[in-house]
Amino acid sequence: MIIKVTGVEENMHQTLQHIANLYYEESTIIIGETDQWDLFIHIIQADKQTAYYTEGQLQDKKDGTKKADFWKETFSGESDKDRKKKAKQAVSHIMVKLLSEYTGTVQPWGTLTGIRPTKLYHKLIREGWTTTQIHSYLKTDYLLSDEKLNLLAEIVERQHSVLPDLYELDRGVSIYIGIPFCPTKCAYCTFPAYAINGRNGSVETFLEGLHYEMEQTGKWLKEHNIPVTTVYFGGGTPTSISAEEMDKLYSHMYKVFSGMEKVREVTVEAGRPDTITPEKIEVLKKWNIDRISINPQSFEDTTLKAIGRHHSVEETVTKYKLARDMGLQNINMDLIIGLPGEGVSEMEYSLQETEKLKPESLTVHTLSFKRASAMTKQKNKYKVAGRKEIGQMMDMTSKWTKENEYVPYYLYRQKNILGNLENVGYSFRGKESLYNIIIMEEVQTIIGLGCGAASKWVEPGTGKITRFANPKDPVSYNNGYEDYTNKKIKQLEELFQINNSAASTK
């Protein structure tokens, strides 16, 4: 679909392309004159000094008829900058309104792209806005639907309830530890995940590097009296390594991070059921790991095979029951909406099966075609549901979670997500993952250790964000972990010194 747009500046291209992507899987925006177009949108803008007046018109080349009427946005702004911003917003609104009318597709997130909805909500609360003001602003300026506004309000309320000091966490840190191995690589995966078989040599070397990073970081945190709020082992699949290696790793964690008794939550992803053994569960229990994740993704064996999971549904259920029977009390499960070949009936079945297991939390992802995944590279091979059906699956899940007493507690949206929807973390009340809230709302520095671990520095006081990424592949990591550790400690020094000097000038 080629959409020709006239009447706007070239610098609007990215914004308009984002909006077009909400409606069409494949679309190209061309600003200015061209003969190659399927749709033509003409925007008329007029600066009337105190008010900026914008309207638009849409035409379909096939029959040449006007498919949507004029839409008008009238507003006033106080400064040039403000008016420019408003003009851009008005053009976005007009595009959304015209394309919605033309395609019959409703965009519940309106024009909100590229911004984390809950983060924006928190920002407004911190600035002193009331709930009514926030909702009215998001509705007017971003065209958010009531349904999404209510979802945001519910999530923000849960987050405050489990982390009452959410806005004061910036003086502490959380730790992310990346273990880059999995039994096999899933087709949709873009995480640092290397097949573990035959790589034992490099696993050993990797763990040596990781132990070093943990030790140096722990030492620095202790010296500067910086508390650790949560620890999260991800990857890859952290339970891919042996029970003995896990035991040594957690023992090391307790040794090098002082104040482990005050850490509010330690999570270990055990996403692939084929990595779970009774010995490993014993180790998780021995070190008081609070929360684990066992991820079915789907309860259809054919789907699991198609996406390269190499484990069966039966194994998911057996390992889940094993973990439960052995005493693990907080288990998360991940499900993905829109996996290849799946529609409403498969989703319904997955939810019915989940209901029998009653995990404490359920994270519902909507499939996203990430650029680097095997699935995206062979997109034609994988048949996925259309936008309408994806929406139905999402609605069904949301209804199911309500009926089963799960509450939403975090949300994020990704580019190229099917149906322009969202990923939502649900949990029983009180079983929310604190780490997930902290990372989504970017309220605290997260120090990433291990392979592919991204550190996110959140400057205390200002919330300014910078990042540092460890290499994704174990060989590069093994060759350079001392260097990465030193660089990160230097950056941490700067991050917290900025704060110290700011504090001393107050």
| Residues at the contact surface with ligand SF4, assessed by CB under 6 A | 182, 185-186, 189, 191, 193, 235-237, 271-272
CB of 241 to ligand SF4, least distance (A): 13
CB of 88 to ligand SF4, least distance (A): 37
Helix axes 131-142, 117-126, angle to 10 degrees: 130
CB of 470 to ligand SF4, least distance (A): 16
Residue 362 CA to residue 333 CA, distance in Å, equals 5
The residues, any chain, with a CB within 8 Å of residue 255's CB and separated by 6 or more, are none
Residue 1 CA to residue 313 CA, distance in Å, equals 40
- For ligand SF4, the closer of residues 345 and 416 by Cβ is 416
CB of 232 to ligand SF4, least distance (A): 14
CB of 188 to ligand SF4, least distance (A): 7
The single-letter DSSP state of residue 136 is H
Three-state DSSP at 291 gives strand
CB of 293 to ligand SF4, least distance (A): 10
- For ligand SF4, the closer of residues 293 and 397 by Cβ is 293
CB of 282 to ligand SF4, least distance (A): 22
Strands (E), 361-479: 361-366, 407-412, 423-427, 445-450, 454-458, 465-469
In the numeric block, which tokens belong to residue 359? 């995990």
What is the radius of gyration, based on Cα positions, of the chain?
25
CB of 271 to ligand SF4, least distance (A): 5
- For ligand SF4, the closer of residues 186 and 263 by Cβ is 186
Residue 415 CA to residue 366 CA, distance in Å, equals 11
CB of 476 to ligand SF4, least distance (A): 18
The single-letter DSSP state of residue 290 is -
CB of 239 to ligand SF4, least distance (A): 10
- For ligand SF4, the closer of residues 297 and 397 by Cβ is 297
How many other CB atoms are there within 10 angstroms of residue 99's CB atom? 24
In Å, how far are 20, 140, 192, 282 from 276, measured between CA atoms? Answer: 44, 49, 20, 11
Q: By the 8 A CB rule, do 29 and 20 touch?
A: yes
Instruction: State which amino acid sits at residue 215.
Output: E
The residues, any chain, with a CB within 8 Å of residue 324's CB and separated by 6 or more, are 331
Residue 418 CA to residue 21 CA, distance in Å, equals 11
- For ligand SF4, the closer of residues 186 and 284 by Cβ is 186
- For ligand SF4, the closer of residues 253 and 451 by Cβ is 451
Phi, psi of 242 (to 5 degrees): -75, 165
Residue labelled with tokens 């790991």: 289
- For ligand SF4, the closer of residues 192 and 408 by Cβ is 192
218 cis-preceded (ω within 30 degrees of 0): no
Counted residue by residue, the chain has a size of: 506
The single-letter DSSP state of residue 335 is E
Residue 301 CA to residue 371 CA, distance in Å, equals 26
- For ligand SF4, the closer of residues 7 and 450 by Cβ is 450
- For ligand SF4, the closer of residues 146 and 301 by Cβ is 301
- For ligand SF4, the closer of residues 7 and 271 by Cβ is 271
CA angle 336, 339, 340 (to 5 degrees): 175
